[in-house]
Chains A and B, each alone.
Chain A
Amino acid sequence: MDGLYLYCIREKTDTPCFSTKGIDEKEEVFVIPFRELEAVVSKVSFEEFASEEIQKKAREDLNWIKEKAIAHEKVIEEAMRKDDKVLSLIPMRFGTIFKERAGLEETLNKDYLKIREVLDRIRGKQEWSVKVYLKEREKFEQVIKDKNETIKEKEKEIASLPEGLAFFMEEELKEIIAKEINKELNNFAEDIFERLKDFSFDLAKGKLLEKELTGKEKPMVLNVSCLILEDRIEDFKKGVEALDQGINTKGFYLEHSGPWPVYNFSVY
């Protein structure tokens, strides 16, 4: 039996054709109109996705999750673009499947007002991502050590001790430094967050992602999604580039990307 995988909901367009394939990489993506809205969906085998095997994969098989999440994102990417314009749409979280069309239509009907409200709220705005990484820990560490008298004194004391005794002091000092760095890192991230407010209509702080996930050598220290008014996108870009240069001297760097589907600002 065929089920329907739901990617996103948008206002009706005159280009309901998709070249991207659906989540199973076989089925066509198409739209189901509802009033002045349309739901972007593709067929999936209900039995297959409801099976133990898939449920297990979704919990354990990182590669499977990765592949499918990308497929999900690609469909939404296509749905949000028309010529050079970026359309407002409501992206769904990964993995929403309806057994039949009637169930989906019922949901759209029930949530209609909320959907309307979100679409009105995000119209003319785009989601952009800003991530800040600590590039040179030593640099940042040095800045902190230099202005901290307690640390300097401890270092002197350690130099005069026999090795075994010094070991304890050294370990203790390392902890003090680590704590101090954490504190300063938080302050730093908070400061960047505040500055991003200048360009943004709304902001959402995200989880800091592990290195295994980012595939970067450097640790992430700030992860923010910004909702930006369309006519301020250029300001935003210039702003974050300037910010990047400013934090470089302190041992950090910043990356921005977008426009993204408004994953962070469309919850209803």
Chain B
Amino acid sequence: MADLLTANKNDNVTLVDALDKVLEKGVVINGDIMIRVADVDLVYLGLRLILTSVSKAEELSGKSFSNPDKEFTPDDIAYIQKLQREIKKAEENIPKLIDLGSPKKTEQGLAQLVLTLLELIRKLMEKEAFRRVKRGSLSQAEVQKLGLSLKAVKKKIQEVQAIFGIKDEDLNLDLGPLGNLM
């Protein structure tokens, strides 16, 4: 009978189905002990507090003092070229790292957490940048710089992802009742 779970169901039975049902469904009647499972709300509460303060800060900083007609300076051009090189380097590097096929599994958990937070900050910055670009208060040169900077950061994050073998969808946290972080 040890294999009841698999033996009796010829159709693609998975462990998951069992867990899904046993832990979530079925009749609840009051015994002397009801063991509660998946009671993880408290962990998420702490995270939620951090998150609200970040988005508040983002909301408050919306001002721009730039001049829309500002020209590209030689410094701007040098900076833009540097960013473009960085992006290219990262783009070339990523497939190589993936081909290497030996992601550093051991540090994966930590890397995932750190990258998730980086990705969150990156997305918040991107949102703020978007807002300013849409407002039309930035010069072409500034928009170009901003866009390339954000792209460079994004590519760098992707590069580190490749090193540790972390997929895009792993860069998230399940906040239970609050849904996903991103």
Contact = CB atoms under 8 A, between A and B. Distances in A.
Interface of A: 3, 6, 19-20, 46, 49-50, 54-55, 58-59, 65-66, 69-70, 72-74, 77-78, 81, 90-99, 103-104, 107, 111, 129, 131, 162-168, 171-172, 206-207, 209-211, 213-215, 219, 223, 225, 237, 255-261, 263-264, 266-268
A255 B17 CA distance: 11
A167 B35 CA distance: 51
Interface centre among A19, A74, A93, A207 (most CB of B within 10 A): A93
Interface range on chain B: under 10, 10 to 19, 20 to 34, or 35 or more? 35 or more
A95 B34 CA distance: 5
A1 B92 CA distance: 66
12 contacts: A54-B35, A65-B19, A66-B15, A70-B5, A70-B18, A98-B32, A162-B144, A164-B148, A167-B151, A168-B129, A171-B130, A225-B21
B150 A167 contact: yes
Contact of A165 (B13, B17, B22, B143): B143
A97 B18 CA distance: 20
A177 B18 CA distance: 35
Nearest to B87: A163
B33 A95 contact: yes
B24 interface: yes
B53 interface: no
B135 interface: no
A107 B29 CA distance: 8
Contact of A164 (B1, B33, B130, B144): B144
A91 B27 contact: yes
B23 interface: yes
Interface string B14-45: 11111111111111111111111111100000
Given A58-B35, A72-B22, A96 B147 contact: no
A119 to B, nearest CB: 12
A209 B18 contact: no
A162 B148 CA distance: 10
A81 B8 contact: yes
B27 A214 contact: no
B12 A263 contact: no
A69 B19 contact: yes
A152 B36 CA distance: 50
Contact of B148 (A59, A167, A211): A167
A93 B147 contact: no
B31 A164 contact: no
Interface centre among A69, A164, A215 (most CB of B within 10 A): A164
B50 to A, nearest CB: 21
B80 interface: yes
B26 A168 contact: no
B131 to A, nearest CB: 11
Q: Which 5 A-B pairs have the closest CB atoms?
A: A95-B35, A164-B147, A164-B144, A263-B25, A167-B147
B126 interface: yes
Nearest to A100: B32
Interface string B93-122: 000000000000000000000000000000
Contacts of A55: 35
Contacts of A166: 147
B145 interface: yes
Interface in B74-101: 80, 84, 87
Interface centre among B1, B26, B87 (most CB of A within 10 A): B26
